[in-house]
Amino acid sequence: MSHALTNRILAELNRVRLIDPHSHINPHAAAAKTLGDILGYHYYTELAHSAGLARDRIEEPGLDPKEKVSRLIPRLCEIENTVQYGWLIDLCRAFFYFEAGTITEANWEGLYDRALETLSQPDWEQQVLERSGLDAVFLTNDFDDPLTGFDTDRYIPCLRTDDLVFHLTKLETRQRLAATTRIDFDNPLEFEQALGALFQRFTRGGARACAISLPPDFEPVPVAAPAAGRLFATLRSGSELTLEERRQFSQFVFWKLAEACAEYRLPFDLMIGVNRRVYEAGVYQGQDLFDGRCSLIQYRRLFNAFPRVMFPISVLASGMNQELVSYSWIFPNVATNGHWWYSNTPAYIELDCRSRLQAVPQSKQIGYYSDMYKLEFALPKFTMYRQVLARVLADDFVVARNWTEEQAVELGRRVLRDNVERIFPKISSNAS
């Protein structure tokens, strides 16, 4: 009975059209071209590497996509248990007429060719959006991305600011910012002017969020202008900053970004907890890990200082989810956002989803984002989430609290779709 109930709720959730609030889609090449693009997703390369495939077999320069797939296939049997492999099978069945339960050395070539045929259709991008129920997809744009040549109602710009906060100490990054804003900056005031120009271009270009990923030990605090001025002076002189100065410089830039978010009314999407390049011999994008010892208490000054900026927050460690629930329950400007990366597996989604639905105002929860690099992954990833969500709605709301199925589905619709529009509203172009 509960199983049938879950399936009825799931069927309704499957009808909800989606806006995916975080992805790494390239709007100029949004869909995959070959199965190589699919199996090139870092989940498959890193898991295959973890299971024993040498990195240089995967990342050999100039490797033909079909050859790359042929090298990955023999290792896939070691990862058939993973949910990421499950996405792959779901995707192949949904889009490539695949009927087997596993991809093997015997059946992969036929799959490769059928995939190529499908992916080569001129309207494939439109088809995959439609069949995945996607109305729009948020992008991850470098600060000097041009934001032109694509439909920004479908592919919504999002200003990604990791480079500014963590790499503005590099001359090259400063030159890129000066070039894109046409503002030479050499002190805090000029830097603020450059940021202003940047935010103006992004908000006029349709951006609906500013975003950043942050290491576990990051703690946002304001940095006074004179101290920041000395840091700019050191950089100007060509000297290296000390570790402590680098930390302070990152804090300065981050705080200025938050001020710009306030001024330009952009939500500031924080993805908290990643340590970059922990496994330096790992495959591309398969080098980052985390330190679970991180707390949202580090963000208290930020949340207090910017009551008008909405902070949708993703945490990398499921162990931080209870803090996220509690901070979202108390702070009006903190919202829960999706299930990120190492927490994006059903075991963790289930606990995190349940605890959020039980204690955070329903208007402040963004259920899920795909984090995908190619459009084909929205379908299996959102499907995984919807299955968990349907089960939680059935058990915790219909059964435990006697909600009607309609109420449960409505709650699901809010976290799946409505809150994306509410929390990341369209900015009128003359804001500020």
Q: Which of residues 371-410 bind a copy of itself (CB under 8 A)?
A: 387, 396-397, 400-403, 407
CB of 90 to a copy of itself, least distance (A): 9
CA distance 366 to 382: 13
Question: Is there binding between residue 425 and a copy of itself (CB under 8 A)?
Answer: no
- Nearest Cα residue to 213 out of 315, 292, 306, 138: 315
Considering only 355, 405, 413, 421, the residue that binds a copy of itself (CB under 8 A) is 355
Considering only 49, 68, 381, 386, the residue that binds a copy of itself (CB under 8 A) is 49
Residue number with CB closer to a copy of itself (36 or 273): 273
Residue number with CB closer to a copy of itself (23 or 84): 84
- Nearest Cα residue to 223 out of 193, 252, 254: 252
CB of 22 to a copy of itself, least distance (A): 20
- Give the x/- contact pattern for a copy of itself in 267-296, rule: CB under 8 A: --------x--xxxxx---xxxxxxxx-xx
H-state helical runs in 207-314: 225-236, 243-264, 300-305
Task: Break the chain down into helix, strand, coil percent, rounded to 5.
Answer: 55, 10, 35
Question: Is there binding between residue 107 and a copy of itself (CB under 8 A)?
Answer: no
CB of 249 to a copy of itself, least distance (A): 23
- Give the x/- contact pattern for a copy of itself in 213-252, rule: CB under 8 A: ----------------------------------------
- Nearest Cα residue to 86 out of 290, 385, 359, 351: 385
The residues, ordered by sequence, that sit 6+ positions from 205 with a Cβ below 8 Å of its Cβ are 147, 148, 152, 157
CB of 98 to a copy of itself, least distance (A): 14
CB atoms within 10 A of CB 425: 12
CB of 350 to a copy of itself, least distance (A): 9
CB of 4 to a copy of itself, least distance (A): 12
Binding segment (CB under 8 A) for a copy of itself, from list 19-27, 48-56, 122-130, 141-149: 48-56
Please tell me what DSSP assigns to residue 177: H
Residue number with CB closer to a copy of itself (323 or 376): 323
Measured between its terminal Cα atoms, the distance across the chain in Å is: 54
CA distance 428 to 23: 23
CA distance 171 to 173: 5
Binding segment (CB under 8 A) for a copy of itself, from list 62-70, 122-130, 158-166, 329-337: 329-337
What is the CA 218 to chain-centroid distance, rounded? 19
CB of 366 to a copy of itself, least distance (A): 14
CA distance 303 to 360: 17
Instruction: Enter the tokens of residue 129.
Output: 């959006």
CA triple 325-43-340, angle to 5 deg: 10
Q: Which of residues 156-185 bind a copy of itself (CB under 8 A)?
A: none
Considering only 30, 69, 79, 177, the residue that binds a copy of itself (CB under 8 A) is 79
Amino acid letter for position 294: C
CA distance 330 to 361: 10
Considering only 4, 81, 224, 430, the residue that binds a copy of itself (CB under 8 A) is 81
Residue number with CB closer to a copy of itself (25 or 388): 388
Is residue 67 within 8 Å of 179, Cβ to Cβ?
Answer: no
State the DSSP H helix or E strand holding residue 326, giving kind and residue range, or none if neither: helix 321-330
Considering only 107, 183, 342, 421, the residue that binds a copy of itself (CB under 8 A) is 342
What is the CA 313 to chain-centroid distance, rounded? 11
CA distance 138 to 142: 13
- Give the x/- contact pattern for a copy of itself in 109-148, rule: CB under 8 A: ----------------------------------------
CB of 2 to a copy of itself, least distance (A): 8
CA distance 9 to 393: 8
Sign for the CA dihedral angle at 369, 373, 378, 380 comes to negative
Q: Which of residues 289-328 bind a copy of itself (CB under 8 A)?
A: 289-293, 295-297, 300, 303-304, 307, 317-320, 322-323, 325-328
Residue number with CB closer to a copy of itself (31 or 390): 390
Residue number with CB closer to a copy of itself (252 or 348): 348
Residue number with CB closer to a copy of itself (86 or 133): 86
Residue number with CB closer to a copy of itself (35 or 324): 324
